[in-house]
Amino acid sequence: MADNRTPRELTTRVTMERPKQWTPPDLLPEPDKEAGMSYRWIRVSMLNNADPRNVSARLREGWEPVKLEEQPKFRLLVDPDSRYQDGIEIGGLLLCKTPTELVEQQQAYYQNLTRQNEEAVNNSLMRQSDARMPLFREGKTSVSFGRG
């Protein structure tokens, strides 16, 4: 009875593959990265109203619009009525770039500012704390077993 079985090495299990699921397309395509540069989509309009204040602030931070020649794959996606004819504007957002070191400096600046604000709030709270009614109570609990 055992002689008519096929060896285990010759039998294989059929792998079940899951059917591919449809996913919606990305609203903003990812640009081809250039070494040492960071990319970001900057709002130039919202609800068909121009937002020059936001664009001006980002340009002063060091962001510069990416030219269409640098990213030719966006040629078909660009808004034909864009105010930035050489730039890449999609849905009221303009693709911009800046050196990565500027982004790192900006992150360090805001992390330091956040740390200073947290310290100021904590110092203010501790100054108002009273030993009779502390704002923060250190949780020291102990477990004791009764004698029965």
28 is a domain residue: no
- Mean pLDDT confidence for 72-101: 87
- Mean pLDDT confidence for 108-136: 83
67 is a domain residue: yes
Residue 105 vs residues 34, 41, 73, 76, 126: alpha-carbon distances, Å? 19, 19, 31, 35, 32
138 is a domain residue: no
- Read off the pLDDT band of 146 (50, 70, 90): confident
Res 16 pLDDT > 90: no
Res 14 pLDDT > 70: no
Domains: count for the chain: 1
Give residue 12's pLDDT. 65
- Mean pLDDT confidence for 115-140: 76
Which residues, 6 or more positions from 37, have their beta carbon under 8 angstroms from its beta carbon? 97, 98, 99, 100
29 is a domain residue: no
87 is a domain residue: yes
- How many beta carbons lie within 10 A of that of residue 70, not counting itself? 16
Name the least confident of 13-17, 70-74, 95-99, 103-107.
13-17
pLDDT digits (tens, 9 = 90+) for 27-75: 788 898 889 999 999 999 988 899 999 999 999 999 999 998 998 888 8
Q: What is the DSSP string of 105-135?
A: HHHHHHHHHHHHHHHHHHHHHHHH--SSS-S
Look up the domain containing 107 and give its range. 38-127
Beta bridge partners, 99, equal 37
Give residue 64's pLDDT. 94
104 is a domain residue: yes
DSSP state of 47: T
Residue bearing the bigger pLDDT, 140 or 126: 126
Closest CA to 96 of 70, 127, 130, 75: 70
Highest mean pLDDT among 2-16, 69-83, 92-106, 120-134: 92-106
83 is a domain residue: yes
CA 135 to chain centre: 35
Give residue 138's pLDDT. 63
8 is a domain residue: no
- Mean pLDDT confidence for 6-27: 73
